[in-house]
Amino acid sequence: MRESKHFINGEYLDSPDSPPLANYSPVTGQQIGIIHNGGEQEVDLAVSAARNALEGEWGQLSVNQRIELLYKVADRINERFDEFLEAECADTGKPYSLASHIDIPRGAANFKVFADTVKNVPNEAFEMATPDGGSALNYSQRVPKGVIAVICPWNLPLLLMTWKVAPALACGNTVVVKPSNETTLSTCLLGEVMNEVGIPKGVFNVVVGKGSRTGDALVRHPGVDAITFTGSTATGEGLMETAAKGVRDISLELGGKNAGVVFADADLDKAVEGTLRSAFANCGQVCLGTERVYVERPIFDEFVQRMTAGAESFTFGKPEDSATTMGPLISKTHRDKVLGYFAKAREEGANVVTGGGVPELPDALKDGFWVQPTIWTGLPEDAVVVREEIFGPCCHIAPFDSEQEVVRLANDTPYGLAAALWTENASRAHRVAGKLDAGIVWVNSWFLRDLRTAFGGMKQSGIGREGGVHSLEFYTELKNICLKL
Q: Is 246 strand, coil or helix?
A: coil
Does 177 contact ligand NAD by CB under 6 A? no
State which residue, 26 or 256, has the beta carbon closest to ligand NAD.
256
Query: Residue 435's closest CA among 397, 463, 465, 402?
Result: 402
CA 106, 107, 112 angle in degrees (round to 5)?
A: 80
From 96-104, 177-185, 315-323, 344-352, span contacting ligand NAD (CB under 6 A): 177-185
Does 253 contact ligand NAD by CB under 6 A? yes
State which residue, 196 or 237, has the beta carbon closest to ligand NAD.
237
Does 150 contact ligand NAD by CB under 6 A? no
What character string, x for contact with ligand NAD (CB under 6 A) and - otherwise, covers 102-141? ----------------------------------------
- For ligand NAD (CB under 6 A), the number of binding residues is 30
Contacts 24+ apart (CB under 8 A), 278-281: 278/420, 278/446, 278/447, 279/307, 279/311, 279/373, 279/375, 279/393, 279/394, 279/395, 280/311, 280/314, 280/326, 280/373, 280/393, 281/98, 281/447
Shortest CB 42 distance to ligand NAD, Å: 14
DSSP secondary structure string, 351-370? EEEE--S-----TTTTTS--
Given candidates 18, 28, 97, 232, which one binds ligand NAD under the rule CB under 6 A? 232
Shortest CB 20 distance to ligand NAD, Å: 15
State which residue, 21 or 90, has the beta carbon closest to ligand NAD.
21
d(C-alpha 253, C-alpha 231), whole Å: 7
Does 38 contact ligand NAD by CB under 6 A? no
Task: Identify residues 256-285 at the interface with ligand NAD (CB under 6 A).
Answer: 256
Contact yes or no for 422/270 (Cβ under 8 A): yes
Sequence-distant (≥ 6) Cβ neighbours of residue 298 within 8 angstroms: 264
Does 462 contact ligand NAD by CB under 6 A? yes
From 38-46, 197-205, 252-260, 302-310, span contacting ligand NAD (CB under 6 A): 252-260
Does 212 contact ligand NAD by CB under 6 A? yes
Name 440's bridge partners.
418
Task: Identify residues 362-421 at the interface with ligand NAD (CB under 6 A).
Answer: 389, 391, 417
User: What are the two backbone dihedrals, phi and then psi, of residue 225, each rounded to the nearest 5 degrees?
Assistant: -90, -30
Does 211 contact ligand NAD by CB under 6 A? yes
Shortest CB 229 distance to ligand NAD, Å: 7
State which residue, 91 or 216, has the beta carbon closest to ligand NAD.
216
d(C-alpha 110, C-alpha 17), whole Å: 36
Does 329 contact ligand NAD by CB under 6 A? no
From 92-100, 147-155, 195-203, 363-371, span contacting ligand NAD (CB under 6 A): 147-155
Count how many residues are written for the chain: 485
Sequence-distant (≥ 6) Cβ neighbours of residue 333 within 8 angstroms: none
From 59-67, 120-128, 178-186, 265-273, span contacting ligand NAD (CB under 6 A): 178-186
Would you please indicate which residues are annotated as catalytic (active-site) residues? 253, 287
Task: Look up residue 281 and give its DSSP letter.
Answer: G
Given candidates 104, 109, 272, 287, which one binds ligand NAD under the rule CB under 6 A? 287
Q: Is 408 strand, coil or helix?
A: helix
From 45-53, 56-64, 231-239, 355-363, span contacting ligand NAD (CB under 6 A): 231-239
Does 180 contact ligand NAD by CB under 6 A? yes
CA atoms within 13 A on the CB side of 147: 26
Given candidates 200, 215, 319, 467, which one binds ligand NAD under the rule CB under 6 A? 215
Shortest CB 230 distance to ligand NAD, Å: 5
State which residue, 146 or 456, has the beta carbon closest to ligand NAD.
456
State which residue, 399 or 414, has the beta carbon closest to ligand NAD.
414
Does 439 contact ligand NAD by CB under 6 A? no
Does 254 contact ligand NAD by CB under 6 A? yes
Does 216 contact ligand NAD by CB under 6 A? yes
CA 171, 203, 159 angle in degrees (round to 5)?
A: 70
Given candidates 39, 157, 191, 231, which one binds ligand NAD under the rule CB under 6 A? 231
Does 238 contact ligand NAD by CB under 6 A? yes
d(C-alpha 258, C-alpha 413), whole Å: 9
Please count the other Cβ atoms lying within 10 Å of the Cβ belonging to residue 18. 17
Please count the other Cβ atoms lying within 10 Å of the Cβ belonging to residue 343. 12
Measured in Å, how far apart are the chain's first and last C-alpha atoms?
65
Does 328 contact ligand NAD by CB under 6 A? no
> Between the CA of residue 309 and those of 229, 303, 314, 374, 469, what are the distances in Å?
37, 10, 9, 11, 42
Given candidates 33, 144, 255, 317, which one binds ligand NAD under the rule CB under 6 A? 255
d(C-alpha 232, C-alpha 236), whole Å: 6
Q: Is 138 strand, coil or helix?
A: strand
Which residues of the chain form contacts with ligand NAD (CB under 6 A)?
151-155, 160, 178, 180-181, 211-212, 215-216, 219, 230-232, 235, 238-239, 253-256, 287, 389, 391, 417, 457, 462
